[in-house]
């Protein structure tokens, strides 16, 4: 939003970090003069004044051409400097600055601080889509110009020449510094394309289906820069390690950068704690970042303490009350996290996510009626939340309102067709109704979690598709081996297909995991009896007889009687 639009009016209270982005009126689309020249109102008023003069008109607005070289380049760098698109973070806006508060001519580091991968991490030559300033600053031409080479050395921001039309001008810019006589010694001609050879187009690592100009000026760039490269997704591409300042440094913000996206969490937490203790900041955001880091590190008591310190500095923050509820719940508390979420929605009743989270908490505490009310308030604010439709459907299904639940699940899938959790709910619902083919269709899209695979296996068994059922029951146990019921069910299936030793092993594992598991004792007893192991079978039936369920006890007694043993 910041780099693609003009400056909107932001109501008070919505400019700080973590606040809901609210703009008064429409957001002006496309950047305008103010982006590079700063506010223009005084400039216009001066020009229209009773006795304007050229000096006063010029001094009433920023002209980047009259700024020092580093300040002038930062006018471009506010949008065209991106150390990386990856979440390091690459930049942190200072917590006392609003999102559109940068003014051309001020140090960019007074508005935001940039961060980069550590030296030696293998990221030194990364090339990404918004790296023009970053790459230019690596060029020998830039370094030897002592900062005089800048974006506007080549580009006129009011008349950008693109493609073939721009080549003559760009080549002339190069020749102003590079002596034509010396250039002629090598294989250059009067029509040589400086940019094409020394700033070639190449594929960015983050947007691999396009090619853009690499602004790192190199004598001999690598070959084949336009050849296809694979998309880079998944944890293997994520960085783990030190996050270092790029440009001006602030130790407190550098400590925050270590933990913001958990790139250096273990070392970053004590570093941030130390900097907070040393600098004693007044802004609550530092304590919130510490609370977030401790929550990610699964240290809920310490996390809650950090959020409480943040709330001392901003007690009316809906965001902070919502954050506090998470570690309180993780610590096993019930009333306190509920109170925190209630304070969150009271502080700002227009946040759908907080109503949703309140509903989840209420549901987990057994208050289904209040949970439904909270989910519906969330959906009234954000009807397109697939997560909330799914949550509401789950609670409605729990209390037996199956038809209403299905409507919510269908709404969730309209918004997010691949929503695995909703497919799982619908699969279970269809299976319970005996609509097995529909259930199978949803189970195929419900993910590989242990619970889903177990339910899928049960459904397939009910359809007498035993080989497939076996596969999914085993997948369930592969995902989570500690499922006594899954072991018992798989044991029955294996026994049905004649794999007796394997069946007995699963019954025994079910009993080991759940001592006193009566159904497993019955199954194992019956299996042993059929094998002629009377003593062992009788022992299993006697163990089943201690179950409080009278039907279980009756079956156990019948098993003993069949062995000729009086119960």
Which pLDDT value is given to residue 23?
A: 77
Model confidence pLDDT, tens digit, residues 202-228: 999 999 999 999 999 998 888 888 889
pLDDT value of position 166: 81
Give me the phi and psi of 459, to 5 degrees please. -60, -45
Domain boundary among 481, 505, 527: 481
Residue % of the chain over a pLDDT of 90: 75
**Does residue 477 sit in the same domain as residue 491?**
no
Q: What is the pLDDT of residue 371?
A: 98
Instruction: Say yes or no: 430 and 562 in one domain.
Output: no
278: in domain = no
Together in a domain, 472 and 548 = no
Does residue 14 lie in a domain region?
no
Q: Is residue 274 part of a domain?
A: no
Question: What pLDDT digit, counting tens, does each position of 147-172 carry?
Answer: 889 999 999 989 888 878 888 888 88
Q: Is 477 exposed, middle or buried (0-12, 13-18, 19+ CB in 10 A)?
A: buried
Q: Please write the tens of the pLDDT for every residue from 10-35.
A: 887 777 766 777 777 777 788 889 89
543 and 501: one domain? yes
* Cis bond upstream, residue 89 (ω within 30): yes
In a domain, 200, yes or no: yes
554 shares its domain with 434: no
Question: For residue 180, is pLDDT > 80?
Answer: no
In a domain, 297, yes or no: no
Helices marked H in 444-499 — which ranges?
450-462, 466-479, 484-496
Task: Please report the pLDDT score of residue 554 as a whole number.
Answer: 95
Q: Do 94 and 216 lie in a common domain?
A: yes
For residue range 276-326, list pLDDT tens digits in order.
999 999 999 999 999 999 999 999 999 999 999 999 999 999 999 999 999
Q: Is residue 472 part of a domain?
A: yes
Kindly state whether residues 151 and 211 are assigned to the same domain.
yes
What H or E segment, with its residue span, contains residue 167? helix 167-177
Mean pLDDT of 164-187: 78
User: What does pLDDT average to over the chain?
Assistant: 92
Query: Among 261, 225, 263, which Cα is nearest to 241's?
Result: 263
d(CA 326, CA 340): 9
Tell me the mean pLDDT in the region 104-123: 94
Angle at 353 between CA 352 and CA 359, to 5 degrees: 90
Domain range holding 195? 66-237
Of the three residues 429, 455, 481, the one that is the final residue of a domain is: 481
User: What is the pLDDT averaged over residues 414-430?
Assistant: 97
Same domain membership, residue 488 and residue 477: no
Q: Are 414 and 383 in contact (CB under 8 A)?
A: no
What is the per-residue pLDDT across 42-60, written as a single tens digit (0 to 9) for each? 999 998 988 888 888 898 9
Q: Is residue 107 a part of any domain in this protein?
A: yes
Domain end point (choices 453, 481, 509): 481
Q: Mutual orientation of helices 420-432 and 436-443 as an angle, nearest 10°?
A: 160
Q: Structural domain tally of the chain? A: 3
Residue 349 counted as domain residue? no
pLDDT of residue 99: 86
Q: Is 219 found in the same domain as 86?
A: yes
**Residues 562 and 427 reside in one and the same domain:** no
pLDDT one-digit tens code per residue, 504-549 = 999 999 999 999 999 999 999 999 999 999 999 999 999 999 999 9
Residues 28 and 31: their CA atoms lie apart, in Å, by 8
Q: What's the CATH code of the domain at 430?
A: 1.25.40.10
| 503 and 462 share one domain | no
């Amino acid at each position: 939003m910041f780099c693609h639009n003009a400056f909107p009016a932001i109501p008070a209270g919505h400019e700080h970090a973590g606040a809901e982005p609210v703009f008064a009126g429409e957001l002006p689309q496309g950047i305008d003069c103010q982006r590079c020249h700063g506010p223009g109102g005084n400039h216009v008023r001066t020009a229209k004044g009773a006795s304007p003069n050229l000096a006063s008109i010029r001094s009433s607005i920023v002209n980047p051409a009259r700024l020092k070289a580093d300040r002038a380049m930062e006018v471009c760098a506010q949008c065209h400097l991106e150390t990386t698109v990856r979440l390091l973070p690459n930049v942190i806006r200072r917590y006392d600055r609003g999102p559109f508060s940068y003014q051309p001519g001020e140090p960019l580091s007074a508005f935001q601080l940039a961060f980069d991968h550590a030296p030696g991490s293998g990221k030194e030559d990364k090339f990404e889509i918004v790296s023009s300033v970053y790459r230019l600053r690596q060029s020998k031409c830039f370094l030897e110009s002592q900062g005089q080479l800048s974006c506007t050395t080549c580009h006129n921001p009011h008349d950008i020449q693109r493609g073939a039309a721009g080549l003559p001008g760009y080549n002339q810019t190069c020749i102003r510094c590079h002596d034509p006589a010396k250039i002629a010694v090598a294989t250059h001609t009067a029509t040589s394309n400086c940019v094409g050879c020394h700033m070639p187009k190449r594929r960015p690592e983050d947007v691999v289906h396009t090619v853009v100009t690499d602004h790192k000026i190199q004598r001999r760039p690598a070959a084949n820069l336009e050849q296809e490269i694979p998309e880079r997704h998944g944890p293997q591409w994520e960085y783990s390690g030190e996050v270092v300042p790029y440009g001006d440094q602030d130790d407190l913000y550098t400590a925050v950068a270590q933990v913001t996206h958990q790139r250096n969490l273990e070392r970053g937490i004590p570093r941030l704690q130390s900097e907070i203790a040393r600098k004693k900041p007044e802004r609550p955001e530092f304590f919130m970042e510490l609370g977030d880091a401790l929550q990610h590190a699964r240290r809920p008591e310490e996390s809650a303490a950090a959020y409480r310190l943040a709330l001392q500095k901003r007690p009316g923050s809906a965001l902070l009350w919502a954050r506090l509820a998470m570690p309180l719940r993780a610590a096993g508390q019930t009333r306190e996290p509920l109170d925190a979420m209630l304070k969150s929605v009271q502080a700002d009743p227009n946040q759908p996510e907080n109503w949703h989270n309140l509903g989840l908490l209420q549901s987990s505490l057994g208050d289904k009626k209040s949970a439904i009310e909270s989910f519906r308030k969330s959906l009234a604010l954000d009807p397109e939340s697939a997560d909330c439709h799914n949550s509401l459907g789950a609670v409605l299904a729990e209390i037996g309102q199956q038809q209403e639940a299905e409507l919510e699940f269908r709404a969730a899938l309209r918004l997010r067709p691949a929503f695995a959790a909703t497919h799982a709910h619908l699969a279970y619902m269809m299976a319970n109704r005996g609509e097995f083919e529909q259930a199978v269709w949803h189970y195929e899209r419900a993910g590989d979690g242990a619970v889903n695979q177990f339910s899928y296996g049960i459904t397939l068994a009910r359809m007498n598709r035993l080989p497939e059922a076996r596969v999914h029951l085993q997948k369930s146990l592969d995902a989570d081996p500690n499922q006594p019921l899954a072991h018992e069910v798989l044991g029955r299936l294996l026994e049905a297909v004649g794999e007796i030793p394997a069946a007995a092993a699963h019954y025994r594992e079910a009993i080991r995991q759940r001592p006193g598991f009566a159904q497993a004792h019955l199954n194992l007893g019956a299996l042993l009896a059929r094998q002629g192991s009377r003593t062992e079978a009788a022992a299993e039936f006697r163990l089943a007889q201690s179950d409080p369920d009278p039907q279980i006890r009756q079956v156990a007694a019948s098993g003993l009687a069949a062995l000729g043993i009086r119960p």
